[in-house]
Structure 1
């Protein structure tokens, strides 16, 4: 239970602070021999924690989009063009946004931190954002736990 809670807490921290890579933690935690069900439980803990952290980034972007700082950034033509391009791509096309967020969550391309902010700015529906991040991250982290265990034993 302690490892599960530690994994959950570290994954929240890692989701908020990009200089704390959860993958390094998983490789270290994966050195202990465990069953597939234990690896799945730890993958779920890491996925849930990462989701909590990305919700914070999403909400910060959503709530901060009307701020003077955000408006100043959007006055830059290059930034505004990128914002408008993403808005055009995702507006009215929730499956496109879900697919991009799932790729970012499971593979890491594009970076999930960036996509969580973009999703917040574009007000992607939470009903789509939360389960997509959770499933993608859980798949990624469970695979890493299983891979670390397999490689080392």
Structure 2
């Protein structure tokens, strides 16, 4: 239970601070626990924590979009055109938005930190953002824990 809580807490910190890579933590934590059930459980803990951290980035970007600085940037024709193009792509297309976010959450390309901010700026529906990030991150981290378990045990 301690390892599960530590994994959850570290994954929140890692989601907020990019210089704390969760993958390195998984290598160490995965070496201490054996078994498929433990690997999946720890992957879910890491996925849940990462989702909480990315929700914070999402909200910061969503709320920051109304700031004077952001409005000044959006007044530039080139920036405004790009922003409006992405809003048009995402608006009314939750499956498209979810697909991009799932790839970012599970594969890390494009980086999920950036995509969480973009999701907030574009006001991606929270009902799309949260489950997509949680599933993608949980899958990624469970597979990493399973890989460590397979390699060491």
Count of residues in Structure 1 that have an aligned counterpart in Structure 2: 153
The C-alpha deviation readout for 1:36-89, integer Å capped at 9, x for no partner, is: 111111001000000000000111111111101111232344433332221121
Which ranges of structure 1 fall in alignment gaps of 5 or more residues? none
Contact 2:101–2:133 under 8 Å retained in 1: yes
Q: Secondary structure at the match of 1:18?
A: coil
Which ranges of structure 2 fall in alignment gaps of 5 or more residues? none
TM normalised by structure 2 equals 0.94
Contact 1:32–1:149 under 8 Å retained in 2: no
Contact 1:7–1:46 under 8 Å retained in 2: yes
In structure 2, the partner of 1:89 is: 89
In structure 2, the partner of 1:100 is: 100
Contact 2:30–2:149 under 8 Å retained in 1: yes
Q: CA RMSD in A?
A: 1.2
The C-alpha deviation readout for 1:87-134, integer Å capped at 9, x for no partner, is: 121111111000000000001111111111111111111111101100
